Amino acid sequence: MNDSHAVPDRAAQERWLKTYYLTRAVFSFVWVAAAVGVARHSMGFAAALLVCYPAWDALANLADGSRSGGLAANRTQAANAVASLAVAAAVAVALPDMNRVLGVFGAWAILSGMLQLGTGLRRWKACGAQWAMILSGGQSALAGAVFIFQAGTAVVPTITTVAGYAGFGAFYFLVSALSLQAGAWRRKGAVSR
């Protein structure tokens, strides 16, 4: 029986996750560079980036959930994809009011952080090297609470506020990819002894 939704073996899953985490890190680093370098001078470009970020997150969660045994087996990622698509639409509606946009990002950071933490905990035994994803999920939720507080102040935030959040995400994705690679090297070294 060939089940296309079967969970891949550990080595195949770790190879996928390394690629996935590296791709997410690169995207986020590029997004941050665009936000800091160009978007702060162009509201139109900033608006496009602000909608693009959660939309990309939705696509990434769909791809990972599908490659990791199917979305039915990865409910936290399916929920994260739906939430991220809703946030992309909510950001588009909230623009150009950056306080409202930051409030939307804050609520999303809390929800997606908790879902990411759940995904990391679920994967811990099967894949290992999930500590950075778990830490990232918790930190995302805390950042979301700060965003919601900031959104209620008189200070008008800019895209660079969100860029800091995206930068930490990129860092955690990179650390996760490197942790998986280090684990593979350790196992390979132990086998060759």
Q: pLDDT for 171-182, tens place per residue?
A: 999 999 999 888
pLDDT of residue 192: 61
Give the percent of the chain with pLDDT over 70.
Answer: 91
The span from the CA of 125 to the CA of 116, in Å, is 16
pLDDT of residue 3: 45
**How does residue 1 score in pLDDT terms, banded at 50, 70 and 90?**
very low
The span from the CA of 78 to the CA of 119, in Å, is 11
Given a contact cutoff of 8 angstroms between Cβ atoms, the answer to whether 120 and 144 are in contact is no
pLDDT of residue 178: 92
pLDDT of residue 180: 87
DSSP string, 22-71: HHHHHHHHHHHHHHHHTGGG-HHHHHHHHHHHHHHHHHHHHHHHHHTT-T
Does residue 149 register a pLDDT over 90?
Answer: yes
| DSSP code for 97 | -
134-154: burial string, b at 16+ Cβ within 10 Å, e else: bbbbebbbebbeebbebbeee
The span from the CA of 21 to the CA of 88, in Å, is 21
From the list 139, 169, 140, 177, the residue with the least C-alpha distance to 27 is 169
Two tokens, residue 126: 């099967």
pLDDT digits (tens, 9 = 90+) for 31-88: 999 999 987 688 899 999 999 999 999 999 999 999 988 999 999 999 999 999 999 9
pLDDT of residue 123: 86
Helix-then-strand count for the chain, H and E:
6, 0
Give me the mean pLDDT over the 164-188 stretch.
Answer: 88
The span from the CA of 143 to the CA of 106, in Å, is 7
